[in-house]
Amino acid sequence: MKLVRFGEIQREKPGVIDATGVLRDASSIIDKWSGNALDDDSLARVRAAMEELPIVDSSPRLGAPVCDVGKVVGIGLNYRAHAAEAGLDVPIDPIIFLMAPTAINGPTDDIILPRGSVNTDWEVELAVIIGKGGAYIAPEDALSHVAGYCVANDVTERDYQLNRGTQWTKGKSADTFLPLGPILVTRDEVPDPQNLHLELFLNGELQQRGHSADMIFTVAELISRVSEYMSWQPGDVMITGTPPGVGLGMSPPQFLRDGDMLCLRINNFGEQCARVRAAQ
C-alpha cells in the first residue's frame, strides 16, 4: 500500500494510492498519517476498505507522507564509499544524531537556504517510518516495527555541521531541510530494504547513485541499535545514511545555490523534485 498526504500546506488529508495508481481519500477512516495510525491494525483497516474510499479527481500537491513526528533519528556515515569521500574512518558503531522534526518538508516544496549559507549540501537517503514502538528491540524482530519506507533528502549545511562545535544537529535541522516522500511504501511491498537503488540528480545531472546493500549497518541493525539508547515511538522517522556523491566530496566542493533543482529516486517510491531558494 502507498500512503500520501495531499492538499495545501498544513491542511493535508491522509490518502492512499491504489493498485491502479488512483489517489483515494482515507480521511473517513483515519485523521492523519501519524502515530498509531501507522500500526499494523490501522493499516489493515485502511487496506480492507480501499475500494470504498472516495477517489480524488484532481492532482493535488503532496506533502510529506507523515506528520506530527515525535523524533527524527539520523545515521551518519553508513555507506563505506561516502565515509571514504568525506575522509573519515568507517564507524564501528552507528553514528546517531537527532534532527528537528520542523525540518520535515514536502517532496516538491522549496528548500530554503539559511541566510548567509554557502555550504548547503544534498544527501539522498532511505527513510524508515516506525509503526510499532519499543525499546531493546532484537535485530531479528526489528523490521516488524516498520510501517514503511520513503525517499528522504538529508539537506545539510556543512559549515554549521562541521565548524560550529561539531554538532551535526545544527547543520541538519533548518526548516525545509528534510524533504520526505512523495509516498510512504508500506513494508509488505518492500521485502528487503537492503535491495534498493538510490539516485539523486542536481539540475538534471546524476550526482549520487548507490544501493542499500552497501550500508555498513542494515536497517534492522539500526532499528535495534538505536533502541538501546532511546525507545522508538509510532510515527518516528529514521534516515539511514547516504551513498557517495555529495557536494562536500567533490574537488573542489560544490554546494547548492538559489535556483538549483534536486530530484531523488528510490525504486518505486516515486520521484521527489524540489527547487532550492535563498532565504529572504
**Segment 247-264, tens digit of pLDDT:** 999 999 999 999 999 999
Residue 85 confidence (pLDDT): 82
What stretches of the chain adopt beta strand conformation (E)?
2-6, 13-17, 23-25, 62-63, 72-76, 95-99, 104-105, 111-113, 120-121, 124-130, 146-153, 156-157, 178-179, 184-186, 197-202, 205-211, 237-239, 261-266, 271-278
Q: What is the pTM of this model?
A: 0.96
Q: What are phi and psi of 21, to 5 degrees?
A: 90, 10
The rounded distance, in Å, linking the Cα atoms of 129 and 162 is: 27
Q: Which residues pair with 42 in a beta bridge?
A: none
For the chain, the structural domain boundaries read 2-63, 72-278
Q: pLDDT: is 15 or 90 the higher one?
A: 15
Exposure on the CB side of residue 146, measured as CA atoms within 13 A: 29
**Segment 176-233, tens digit of pLDDT:** 999 999 999 999 999 999 999 999 999 999 999 999 999 999 999 999 999 999 999 9
The topology under which CATH files domain 72-278 is Fumarylacetoacetate hydrolase; domain 2 (3.90.850)
Pairing of strands 197-202, 205-211: antiparallel
Collapsing DSSP to helix, strand or coil, 180 comes out as strand
Residues 103, 172: contact at Cβ < 8 Å? Answer: yes
Which stretches within 54-95 are classed as H helix? 80-85
